[in-house]
């Protein structure tokens, strides 16, 4: 299932759903790559409906962050549940990827 996404101005907002783990990480990566355009100024990944992410999922997010950094596109995540936020904090990913409570906050911070 392709991921749900909207584009507001130059900002792409993409939603990740349910869980990202070893079983669907590759599909998630392909989906995300297919919706991101080179012209996007910023990409916000909305994790509001995500309740679990494994290290395979984090790897896709890291690859995305690195690719966006190369094309000088801003990147942020938002709407993290407590458990997903904890996974970002323990792994230290919160140090390299800005986290915001809501899409609105993320847009304001760009």
For 1, the 3-state DSSP assignment is coil
CB of 20 to another protein, least distance (A): 12
Q: What 8-state DSSP symbol labels residue 99?
A: E
Pick 15 or 59: Cβ nearer another protein: 59
CB of 66 to another protein, least distance (A): 7
Pick 11 or 29: Cβ nearer another protein: 29
CB of 5 to another protein, least distance (A): 21
Q: Are 99 and 65 in contact (CB under 8 A)?
A: no
Pick 21 or 105: Cβ nearer another protein: 21
67 φ, ψ to 5°? -65, -40
- Residues lying near another protein in the complex (CB under 8 A) are found at 18-19, 21-22, 25, 51-52, 54-56, 58-60, 62-63, 66, 89-93, 95-96
Pick 10 or 98: Cβ nearer another protein: 98
Comparing C-alpha atoms, which of 35, 108, 33, 51 is closest to residue 76?
A: 108
């Amino acid at each position: 299932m392709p991921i749900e996404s909207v584009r507001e101005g130059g900002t792409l907002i993409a939603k990740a759903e349910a869980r990202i783990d070893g079983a669907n990480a590759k599909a998630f990566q392909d989906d995300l790559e297919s919706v991101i355009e080179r012209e996007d100024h910023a990409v916000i990944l909305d994790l509001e409906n995500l309740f679990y992410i494994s290290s395979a999922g984090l790897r896709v997010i890291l690859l995305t962050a690195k690719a966006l950094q190369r094309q000088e596109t801003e990147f942020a995540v938002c709407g993290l549940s407590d458990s997903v936020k904890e996974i970002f904090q323990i792994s230290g990913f919160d140090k390299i990827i800005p986290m915001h409570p809501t899409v609105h906050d993320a847009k304001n911070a760009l």
